[in-house]
Structure 1
Amino acid sequence: MDCIFCKIANGEIPSTKVYEDDKMLAFRDLDPQAPVHILMIPKEHIASADDLTEENAQIVAHIFTVAKKIAAAEGLTNGYRIVNNCGEDGGQTVKHLHFHLLGGRSMAWPPG
């Protein structure tokens, strides 16, 4: 499989890791959109939120539980945003389920 996030999770491509366990990896985004911009990915390849099933959906709960810890460790005491893009029209550019943890500044809505 030619998935950049799988290669990062497998250590084939270097990343600036923030957190890692047997289920997920969190690392700093190379093109940050906020002072803190961390990508959180499952180690198992799941193409998008549309590919979640009852068998693999528990990874989302795990990622969100870890996100809270990462946000605290990053000093995001005034809040943060977690974003998932799903599909082409949703802005998903890497076909591997991932969540953006953004913080360190006031987050406007709509994003931009």
Structure 2
Amino acid sequence: MSVAYDPNNIFGKILRGEIPSHKVYEDEVALAIMDIMPRAEGHVLVIPKEDARNLLDVSPATLSDLIKRVQHVAKALEKAFKADGLTLHQFNESAGGQVIYHLHFHLLPRWEGVPLRPPGTMADDKKLAEQAKMIRAATAPFAG
């Protein structure tokens, strides 16, 4: 099933600067931002700058470059939050759990014995800003 990409999705608007976000990483390929409804402390979204609805229609070259940025941000998260592990989520189409139709990867720092929060609770904006600052401070230069 192929559905056209709609550039008016929230991530398209964030990429164009129409909606504010707490950025933790950005280059010519990707943008990483704090999730405003985090399921764990430090929950980050990594999105490509290419207009791609999901994993099934992104160009292979962008996907290859994007996953390197996902790993780069994951290393910063692990360091910034002293995480015991990381969870990576990526959803495709509504049947697969996708809600925003712009490809994105969820990175969630995890700790032994700490469950994920239920979805749907907005985070405190000040706390997101502080966490974004921690992640940026832990991010080494990208050497992709």
TM-score range, shorter chain: 0.7 to 0.9
Q: Deviation per CA, 1:58-81: give whole Å up to 9, x if none.
A: 233323332333324422441111
Name the CA shift for 1:59/1:100 in 2 (closer, same or farther; >3 Å): same
Letter of the aligned partner of 1:57 in structure 2?
Answer: L
Q: What SS does the aligned partner of 2:72 have?
A: helix
Q: What SS does the aligned partner of 1:49 have?
A: coil
Larger Rg, first or second structure (1 or 2): 2
Instruction: Report if aligned partners of 1:34, 1:105 keep a CA contact under 8 Å in 2.
Output: no
Is residue 19 of structure 1 aligned with residue 25 of structure 2? yes
Instruction: Report if aligned partners of 1:85, 1:92 keep a CA contact under 8 Å in 2.
Output: yes
Q: CA deviation at 1:102?
A: 0.7
- Alpha-carbon distance in structure 1 between the residues aligned to 2:10 and 2:79: 26
Q: Which residue of 1 aligns with 2:75?
A: 69
Q: If the length of structure 1 is used for normalisation, what is the TM-score?
A: 0.82
Q: If the length of structure 2 is used for normalisation, what is the TM-score?
A: 0.66
Instruction: Report if aligned partners of 2:42, 2:81 keep a CA contact under 8 Å in 1.
Output: no
Which of 83, 96, 100 aligns to 1:94? It is 100
Question: Unpaired runs of 5+ in structure 1?
Answer: none
- Alpha-carbon distance in structure 2 between the residues aligned to 1:38 and 1:54: 23
Task: Name the Cα RMSD after superposition.
Answer: 2.4
Identity %: 35
- Alpha-carbon distance in structure 2 between the residues aligned to 1:51 and 1:3: 16
Q: Which residue of 2 aligns with 1:30?
A: 36
Q: CA deviation at 1:85?
A: 0.8
Which of 64, 77, 85 aligns to 1:58? It is 64
- Alpha-carbon distance in structure 1 between the residues aligned to 2:53 and 2:76: 24
Question: Unpaired runs of 5+ in structure 2?
Answer: 1-6, 120-144
| More helix by percentage | 2
Q: What SS does the aligned partner of 1:50 have?
A: coil
| More strand by percentage | 1
Runs of 4 or more consecutive aligned structure 1 residues displaced over 6 Å after TM superposition? none
Letter of the aligned partner of 1:67 in structure 2?
Answer: V
Instruction: Report if aligned partners of 1:36, 1:104 keep a CA contact under 8 Å in 2.
Output: no
- Alpha-carbon distance in structure 2 between the residues aligned to 1:92 and 1:27: 18
